[in-house]
């Protein structure tokens, strides 16, 4: 994939797990939430929340749950497992305040975006809450590299749904999916979404995992630095 070939004009970049360390933000936010409700933020409880949250997001990406239900029910389900009933919206508001203020860069993210900016048009493609993603991207400095930021909440649909990518492409000048590369860490939303949308895909896979059956990436890297060698 030598740069002189100009195989791509546009790079679509996922945020959480690709450019920003959402896991660290999640843990920091949940420590505050647990303490607010009188629970010690143990590793076991943090892991339980993570598993419940992942399950709800997977259901959301499959179109099985609305965003409002997701953010409410994940906390009600979590605290129910701890033996306490809580107001899901109240817990969400507390968690969201912590999340909005957190932006932990994955190693090499700023360097990668600075390198790519002069070579390609960069766009963010992310599932999430719009206000939170905008704030985190601004706090990290990543927003300055982007031509635009496309958040699922604004689109009214989410990766990997075709409607989400239709929304993105309608806002990219002279959009041609076959001149785009989507880079992300999630096989289910990023790679599957790119396959359905007709873009090339690159799986950011620092854990060295195997792709699920039926999902194929055009490229795979284990670090962001590898992308600088590829693009």
Kindly report the pTM of this predicted structure: 0.87
Q: Among the options 9, 14, 121, 154, which is catalytic?
A: 14
- Compute the distance between CA of residue 69 and CA of residue 17 in angstroms, rounded to an integer: 23
- Compute the distance between CA of residue 60 and CA of residue 159 in angstroms, rounded to an integer: 10
Rg (CA), the chain: 18
107 flagged as catalytic: no
Count how many Cα atoms sit within 13 Å of the Cα of residue 34 in the half-sphere of its side chain: 21
Three-state DSSP class for 225? Answer: helix
Task: Identify whether the C-beta of residue 126 lies closer than 8 Å to the C-beta of residue 150.
Answer: yes
In order of their start, the domains of the chain are 10-20+104-230 (3.40.50.1000), 23-101 (1.10.150.240)
Block means of pLDDT (10 residues each) for the chain, 231 residues, are 70 97 94 97 97 92 88 96 96 94 94 96 95 95 98 94 97 97 97 97 97 96 94 93
């Amino acid at each position: 994939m030598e740069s002189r070939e100009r195989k791509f004009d546009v790079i679509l970049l996922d945020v959480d797990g690709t450019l920003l360390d959402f896991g660290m933000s999640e843990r920091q936010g949940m420590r505050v939430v647990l303490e607010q409700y009188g629970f010690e933020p143990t590793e076991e409880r943090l892991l339980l929340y993570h598993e419940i949250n992942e399950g709800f997001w997977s259901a959301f990406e499959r179109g099985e749950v609305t965003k409002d239900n997701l953010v409410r029910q994940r906390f009600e389900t979590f605290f129910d497992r701890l033996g306490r009933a809580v107001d899901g919206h109240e817990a969400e508001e507390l968690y969201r305040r912590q999340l909005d203020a957190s932006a932990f860069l994955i190693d090499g993210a700023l360097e990668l975006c600075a390198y790519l900016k002069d070579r390609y048009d960069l766009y963010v493609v992310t599932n999430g809450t719009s206000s939170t993603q905008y704030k985190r991207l601004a706090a990290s400095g990543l927003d300055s590299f982007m031509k635009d930021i496309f958040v699922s909440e604004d689109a009214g649909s989410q990766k990997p749904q075709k409607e989400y990518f239709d929304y993105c492409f309608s806002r990219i000048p002279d959009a041609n999916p076959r001149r785009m590369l989507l880079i992300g860490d999630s096989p289910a939303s990023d790679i599957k979404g790119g396959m359905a949308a007709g873009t090339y895909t690159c799986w950011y896979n620092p854990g060295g995992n195997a792709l699920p059956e039926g999902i194929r990436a055009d490229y795979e890297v284990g670090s962001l630095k590898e992308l600088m060698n590829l693009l």
